[in-house]
């Protein structure tokens, strides 16, 4: 079967399917006549297993080791259980600090950030983990960039259409020619919006950071 069918059956985007192939988690056969990938139901089942483990936040490297046989599934689950327990402890510490700030501070201007940051630093030395600012802020900046770029292309294409219509009003042209001239920037607008929406979805899902994190 083709990748579009696999995408529908597994509920995984083509981009992520390709990514998992690059990471060695999926190895579809290739048609010897044209070199195209030929996916099987077994490949779909493997993808569903990957999807399950990724939803449990199991690192890709560990999934690869399971496939290679260098890590047992039982040990993988034990490791992930320990990681999640640690995350739960970190969340508990974060909640306690939020409650402390709520009780101690009544006005934003009163916050002595350095004191609390020092407290956070001491907690981090003890093993606590707080928000990854780089990942969170870069993700927000990336989304803003995608929206800005899409908006600029859309506005430029719309300006071209308006310019064509103004010119046609002063010097009439055959309808077919007008449609052709307007059609190209109109298609550009549609494609730009579609690509921007898809990009935003990918950023929200974190797909853009798969390779960085694993």
Q: How far is CA 92 from CA 97, 99, 145, 209, in A?
A: 9, 11, 34, 26
Asked if residue 107 and residue 158 are part of one domain, the reply reads: no
Q: Which one-letter DSSP state was computed for residue 209?
A: G
- The answer to whether residues 182 and 164 touch, using CB atoms and an 8 Å cutoff, is yes
| SS3 assignment, position 33 | coil
Distance CA 43, CA 27 (A): 8
- Taken as a whole, the chain contains a residue count of 214
User: 39 or 34, which is more confident?
Assistant: 39
Domain contains 61: yes
- Predicted structure pTM score: 0.56
Asked if residue 139 and residue 201 are part of one domain, the reply reads: yes
- The answer to whether residues 44 and 9 touch, using CB atoms and an 8 Å cutoff, is yes
Domain contains 73: no
Answer yes or no: is pLDDT of 207 > 50: no
Asked if residue 196 and residue 165 are part of one domain, the reply reads: yes
What's the pLDDT score for residue 204? 64
Percent of the chain with pLDDT over 70: 87
Answer yes or no: is pLDDT of 70 > 90: yes
Region 163-180: mean pLDDT is 84
What's the pLDDT score for residue 134? 47
* Structural element, H or E, at residue 31: none
User: 196 or 209, which is more confident?
Assistant: 196
Residue 126 backbone dihedrals phi, psi, to 5 degrees: -85, 0
Expressed as residue numbers, the domain containing 53 is: 3-68
Answer yes or no: is pLDDT of 167 > 70: yes
What's the pLDDT score for residue 141? 60
> Of the residues 68, 97, 115, which one is the last residue of a structural domain?
68
């Amino acid at each position: 079967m083709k990748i579009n069918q696999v995408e529908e059956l597994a509920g995984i985007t083509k981009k992520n399917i390709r990514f998992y192939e690059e990471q060695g988690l999926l190895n579809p056969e290739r048609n010897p006549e044209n070199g195209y990938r030929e996916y099987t139901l077994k490949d779909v089942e493997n993808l569903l297993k990957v999807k399950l483990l990724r939803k449990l936040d199991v690192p890709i490297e560990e999934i690869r080791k399971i496939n290679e046989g260098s890590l047992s599934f039982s040990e993988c689950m034990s490791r992930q259980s320990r990681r999640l327990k640690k995350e739960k402890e970190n969340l508990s510490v974060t909640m306690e600090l939020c409650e402390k700030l709520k009780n101690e501070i009544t006005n934003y201007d009163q916050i002595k950030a350095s004191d609390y940051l020092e407290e956070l630093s001491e907690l981090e030395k003890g093993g606590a983990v707080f928000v990854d600012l780089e990942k969170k802020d870069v993700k927000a900046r990336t989304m803003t960039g995608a929206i800005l770029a899409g908006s600029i292309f859309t506005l430029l294409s719309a300006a071209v259409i308006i310019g064509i219509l103004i010119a046609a009003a002063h010097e009439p042209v055959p309808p077919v020619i007008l449609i052709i001239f307007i059609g190209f920037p109109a298609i550009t607008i549609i494609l730009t919006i579609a690509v921007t929406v898809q990009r935003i979805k990918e950023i929200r899902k974190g797909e853009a950071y798969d390779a960085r994190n694993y």
